[in-house]
Amino acid sequence: MLTDQRHQIIRDRLAVEGRVLAGELASHFGVSEDTVRRDLRELAKAGECRRVYGGAVASAPLAAATVGQRSGHAVEEKMRLASAAVRLLSAGQSLFIDGGSTNAAIARAIPRELDLTVATNSLGVASALSDHPQVELIVLGGRFVRELGTCVGADTLAAIAQLGADLCFLGSCGLDAARGVTAFDSAEAEVKRAMARNSTGIVVAVTNDKLATAAPYRVARAEAIRHLVVEKSAPAAILADFERQGAEIHFA
Amino acid sequence: MLTDQRHQIIRDRLAVEGRVLAGELASHFGVSEDTVRRDLRELAKAGECRRVYGGAVASAPLAAATVGQRSGHAVEEKMRLASAAVRLLSAGQSLFIDGGSTNAAIARAIPRELDLTVATNSLGVASALSDHPQVELIVLGGRFVRELGTCVGADTLAAIAQLGADLCFLGSCGLDAARGVTAFDSAEAEVKRAMARNSTGIVVAVTNDKLATAAPYRVARAEAIRHLVVEKSAPAAILADFERQGAEIHFA
DNA sequence: TCACTTCTTGCATAAACGTGCAAAACATGC
DNA sequence: GCATGTTTTGCACGTTTATGCAAGAAGTGA
């Protein structure tokens, strides 16, 4: 990978997320942290970002515009969850990745040189993976739902039915030990169910505000969750319920 | 292999992928890396790319055409073509939009409030339309091809088969009055053919460099083209051939 | 304060680079 | 045909660049 490409990707990320972490970029690119730090120093010298301890942030005028506007809710937390979730991956696996901002963050955190097969109905996830040379990317088409950023409907279900995956990253609108993974929309839930059904293991990564809440449509029961990725500050009592039902808990 | 041929292929690759590697090109052409470096130096001198350590990147750092990759070639022209092409649209129509940087430009030029139904296999087009509130967007999924930024394969064909459209915006790798619309890749051509078959009218928008050239795979005959959008400077003789076969010519 | 992480600097190495040169391919003129 | 000049290419050479590692400095948080 060319130095210039790294710089471009770092620029893009700064524009989207407002800040980058040296360690994260290093594992994403598959280079040493020293190299990333050199990159950041150069970009900073060119005025394209400001260097801070641990990484870099977008230069002042830009930062205000983008960071705020971007699906800004809990960006930091989601990136931390993503880093933890990516540790569940290994080369050669096949994945379903559902929509939602947390899953988009996970897709962005996937190391660039990791060898995977990924099927997704999310435009954001597809875009994030579209420059990963080792990822065989399958787009699950269908009717595009603007609010979700994903495709749903009969076509989507038909495409999923033809596939199987090792892991399924389910976006969750609500997560409750009794009601399991739930979604706000019927068609969306149907797609999630299909993905879950055709996967060996289910991974759910959620921020604290989703814990112990539920949406109307059931997607998967709590005991179907194999990996649960949560914030360090997640209430232990709630996690215990999931652990009892067989989930492995991973802290961001 | 002629020097000029190599240069043209390098230009194409830069337009599609945004970057090239010296070593990769050398083995692809079967020449030494020195020769490739000479080529890159010349192209860079002519302003057609920027030389970087390890290869070269497309020079125009303007808006991303496909997904994240720069498709710097003839950006201005493509935007002008797009403005002209969009004038062919009217509310309530249904469209197929194929991949390619020109079609991505067209998608970006579609007015935000226009009421349309659009089916596309291009991630770039889908992203461009994902915030158009009046566009019913259908994503044609399938195996994602990084170099093209589009989906191809059996799934894509199956999805297209279920749809019909008023207009089909065909990306064209080469356009010749005798051989019609042609493409570089077999699977890509198959998808284009399916779109064309299920549409009432075909629209082709091309820059001058595509005129009177042909790629190996045939997509549609020249007489199938209803609307041809070209630059003002397009050679009249070539256009006359298309006009004779029933195409309406639109100047950007 | 101390332990820990992150940063910079210097250095070694391998890859990529440009340059000069000679052989080969090709065209041109006699 | 033969000589001449031009262009293209590959190779050898020394130089530059990118990168990772090591060691010490500096920042961070308890």
Distance CA B188, CA B98 (A): 10
- pLDDT score for A93: 96
Of A204 and A75, the one with more pLDDT? A204
Assess contact for B119 and B167: CB atoms under 8 A.
no
The verdict on A62 and A81 lying in the same domain is no
The verdict on B117 and B202 lying in the same domain is yes
The verdict on B106 and B225 lying in the same domain is yes
The total domain count for chain A is 2
pLDDT digit string, tens, across residues A13-31:
888 778 899 998 999 899 9
Q: Which nucleotide is nearest to A53 (CA to C1')?
A: C6
- pLDDT score for B60: 55
pLDDT in tens, chain B (252 residues): 778 889 988 888 887 778 899 999 999 889 999 999 999 999 998 888 999 999 999 875 433 433 334 344 567 788 899 999 999 999 999 999 999 989 999 999 999 889 999 999 999 999 999 989 999 999 999 999 988 899 999 999 999 999 999 999 999 888 999 999 999 899 999 999 999 999 999 999 999 888 988 888 999 999 999 999 999 999 999 999 999 999 999 998
- pLDDT score for B64: 40
Please classify residue B179 by burial: count the beta carbons closer than 10 Å to its beta carbon, then call 0-12 exposed, 13-18 middle and 19+ buried: middle
Contacts of A2 in chain B (CB under 8 A): 19, 21, 52-55, 57
Closest CA to B118 of B107, B108, B109, B102: B107
- pLDDT score for B73: 55
For the CA atoms of A89, A94, A99, A104, the dihedral, rounded to the nearest 10 degrees, stands at 40
Assess contact for B162 and B140: CB atoms under 8 A.
no
- B3 beta carbon to strand C: under 7 Å: no
How many Å from the CA of A148 to C1' of C8? 45
The verdict on B124 and B246 lying in the same domain is yes
Distance CA B22, CA B19 (A): 10
Per-residue pLDDT for A200 more than 90? yes
pLDDT digit string, tens, across residues A69-94:
344 566 778 888 888 899 899 999 99
CATH code for the domain of B49: 1.10.10.10
List C-alpha distances in Å: A239 to A176, A207, B158, B207: 10, 12, 44, 59
CB contacts < 8 A, A to B, total 94
- B143 beta carbon to strand C: under 7 Å: no
- pLDDT score for A113: 81
pLDDT digit string, tens, across residues A144-182:
999 999 999 999 999 999 999 999 999 988 999 999 999
CATH code for the domain of A176: 3.40.50.1360
- pLDDT score for A217: 95
Locus of tokens 């030389």:
B51
- pLDDT score for A1: 85
Locus of tokens 């070539």:
B238
The verdict on B112 and B53 lying in the same domain is no
The verdict on B128 and B217 lying in the same domain is yes
pLDDT digit string, tens, across residues A83-130:
889 989 999 999 999 999 999 989 988 888 889 999 999 999 999 898
The domain in which residue A145 lies consists of 75-251
- pLDDT score for A63: 43
Assess contact for A142 and A155: CB atoms under 8 A.
yes
User: Do residue A2 and residue B52 have CB atoms under 8 angstroms apart?
Assistant: yes
- Rounded to the nearest integer, the mean pLDDT of chain A is 90
The verdict on A35 and A134 lying in the same domain is no
